[in-house]
Amino acid sequence: MIVAEAKPLDEIKRLVADAEKILVVGCGTCVTVCFAGGAREAAVTASMLRMAGRLEGIERQVTDVTVQRQCDWEYVDPIADQVAAVDLVLSLGCGVGVQALVERFPDAWVVPGLNTKFMGVTLEQGVWAERCAGCGDCLLGLTGGICPIARCSKQLLNGPCGGSIDGHCEISAETPCAWQLIYDRLAGKGKLDALLEVQPPKDWRPARHGGPRQIVRDDLRLNEAEVGQPAEQEA
Amino acid sequence: MRENGYLSGSNLERVLRAGRFAVTGELGPPQSADGSVIREKAALLQGACDAVNITDNQTAIVRMSSIGAGTIVVQEGLEPVIQMTCRDRNRLAIQSDLLGAYALGMRNVLALSGDHQTFGNHPAAKNVHDIDSVQLVQVIADMRDKGVFQCGEAFKGQEPRFFVGAAAAPFAHPLDFRPYRLAKKVNAGANFIQTQLIYDIEAFKGYMEKVRKLGLHEKVYILAGVGPLKSPAMARYMRDNVPGMLIPDAIMERMSAAGAPWAGKEELSKEDKKARSQAWREEGIKITIELIQQLRAIEGVAGVHIMAIEWEEAVRPIVEGAGLLPRPVLEPAA
Ligand code: SF4
Ligand code: SF4
């Protein structure tokens, strides 16, 4: 899932400073699971903004709504009227959600309420960790299912570096060394041979270094007649 | 290989090829644009080392560039080993810098991953790591041996012909994998290896035994890293904080014992402190000399790499004490 964290309230207050009517939009998917931007957080944020406004002597109208998935037109379209009725939308979706609202409602002013962190897992309640950096050309088949791009501090393909000690990375005792994990995993499976080969430099084009990414699947696209009108989001 | 049989013809390569026990030193560029610092340090190392490593933003602290400082070192008649990390440059910058370094007369490169930027004075920096140190070794070797850039395009003119070095951390983890990681660097094309600081000779002997089993000592020149300790506190700090730094108790005790005459005193005068520091440093140099002698006796150790950063004065007495002066003067490669 995409893991995000609430922005500090002071920053949010600055972002919404000029608005009198605010709609807080939560998202029911990833950010609900990581307790950052679901229905509960949207309601709490809305009431905090109302309170903060009152303390500053501003009577603000703050309402909240949560959609199932803020990154899908299908789910955001139904809130079009609510969006049109306010001066500002505070999105508690991830960065994708924020931009989906901007693209779908170009007249609205949308600001982010979260800092989007990474794609990761919940290790235990209240602890999330990064697992994938979306490099576009997955290497997990070479490394026993442990990602050196997202989890090695230097993104080494021929690790571990000389900083690996007692299972952790040189950057801190709290950061597991991805290459120690890879080593242990391959050793456990009797596949250490895989580590002897020199891995060549990675092609980073699929990893955004070739420019912003987009996937087009002609097998899935609707033809113009079916679409009826050209879809806005097409490049 | 060229007609004269040398890969690069660097002094370091010639010394090693001649079967002489090599000595490399280290020169840390200043955190300033002052070239005189380099000249002063070069004078201290001149004649004591076959080549000196010029560090590349060591510990991720911005310093004069290794190639800039290396140029001054070349002018001073000393041979540099340019350190090149993968932290600060992508494959374009690395290759173009190496072309410049070669044109300026540099002939040795040491390929490194680079300390993580969070350790340094620009912790908010974005790191690069486009390629890693093993791949960098391959890139530099391919430029020389295949005459191609990393992308596969052939050189249209002079290709850079470097003697390619890599680092080894024998006691970092996973311990069992370390000889194999060295093998990867050798397979990638490393010609010489400089190890992390060695204080634990027994542990290093164990490592070298595995290295020899893999036959690596016959394919690559291994220079064991040594460095003089300045004080018991420095020894403790390194032992406790630097990954893979093994310092045996016997050495810790020797460092403390060197300061024993001042141990019970209530308050140390400035002179006392100076004398104690002097005693520690002398012991540090003595230990280093003994380590070099022990390392020299290990099969497969082709030389030593003396790291005395910000204490370049210590290098000559160490090399002299170890009986390694004068350094060989060899006919330049044709
Ligand atoms: S290799 Fe790439 S795609 Fe696969 S998990 Fe890592 S970052 Fe994600
Ligand atoms: S210590 Fe491990 S995780 Fe950290 S940079 Fe080195 S190989 Fe990567």
Spacing, Cα A157 to ligand 1 middle (Å): 12
Q: Is the CB–ligand 2 distance for residue A157 below 6 Å?
A: no
pLDDT at A153: 97
Give per-residue burial for B176-204: e unless 16+ CB within 10 Å, then b. ebbbbbbbbbbbbbbbbbbbbbbbbbeeb
Tell me which chain A residues have a C-beta less than 8 angstroms from the C-beta of B135: 157-158, 198-201
pLDDT at B208: 98
Among all chains, which residue has been given the structure tokens 């290093």? B204
The pLDDT of B45-73, averaged and rounded, is 97
Task: Report H helices in chain A.
Answer: 9-16, 30-33, 39-55, 73-76, 80-84, 95-104, 148-151, 178-188, 224-227
List of E strands, chain A: 2-6, 21-27, 61-67, 88-91, 110-112, 114-124, 127-132
Long-range contacts of A74-80 (CB under 8 A, 24+ apart): A76/A100, A76/A101, A76/A104, A76/A105, A77/A104, A79/A23, A79/A25, A80/A104, A80/A105
Q: B147 pLDDT band (50/70/90 cuts)? A: very high
- The mean pLDDT of chain B is 96
A137: closest CA of chain B, how far (Å): 15
**Contact status of A105 with chain B (Cβ, < 8 Å):** no
User: Which of the ligands is closest to the CA of residue A150?
Assistant: 1
Query: Looking at the predicted structure, is the pLDDT value of residue B1 above 60?
Result: no
Q: Which of A165, A180, A204 to mutate to test the interface with B (most CBs of B within 10 A)?
A: A165
Atom of ligand 2 nearest to the CA of A176: 3
pLDDT at A228: 57
Q: Is the CB–ligand 2 distance for residue A22 below 6 Å?
A: no
| CA-nearest residue, atom 2 of ligand 2 | A177
SS3 category, A91: strand
User: Which of the ligands is closest to the CA of residue B86?
Assistant: 2
Q: pLDDT over 70 for what percent of chain B?
A: 99
Beta strands B192-197 and B221-226 are parallel
**Contact status of A180 with chain B (Cβ, < 8 Å):** yes
* Residues whose CB is less than 8 angstroms from the CB of residue A80 and which lie 6 or more positions away in sequence, other chains included: A104, A105
Tell me if the pTM is above 0.80. yes
The pLDDT of B82-86, averaged and rounded, is 98
Domain limits, chain A? 2-118, 133-209
**Contact status of A168 with chain B (Cβ, < 8 Å):** no
For the domain spanning A2-118, the CATH number is: 3.40.50.2300
Task: Report H helices in B61-191.
Answer: 66-75, 91-103, 133-145, 178-188
Tell me which chain A residues have a C-beta less than 8 angstroms from the C-beta of B95: none
- The beta-carbon neighbor of A171 closest among B118, B129, B133 is B118
Domains and CATH numbers, chain B: 11-321 (3.20.20.220)
> What digits encode the pLDDT tens for the residues B201-232?
999 999 999 999 999 999 999 999 999 999 99
pLDDT at B4: 73
pLDDT at A235: 43
The DSSP annotation for B304-315 comes to: EEE--TT-GGGH
SS3 category, A14: helix
pLDDT at A96: 98
The pLDDT of B68-89, averaged and rounded, is 98
* Residues whose CB is less than 8 angstroms from the CB of residue B246 and which lie 6 or more positions away in sequence, other chains included: B171, B199, B200, B203, B239
| Tens digit of each residue's pLDDT, chain A (235 residues) | 999 999 999 999 999 998 999 999 999 999 999 999 999 999 999 999 999 999 988 889 999 999 999 999 999 999 999 999 999 999 999 999 999 999 999 999 999 999 999 999 999 999 999 999 999 999 999 999 999 999 999 999 999 999 999 999 999 999 999 999 999 999 999 999 999 999 999 999 999 899 999 999 999 998 776 665 554 544 4
State the angle between helix axes of B66-75 and B35-45 in degrees (0 to 180), rounded to the nearest 10. 60
Tell me which chain A residues have a C-beta less than 8 angstroms from the C-beta of B170: none
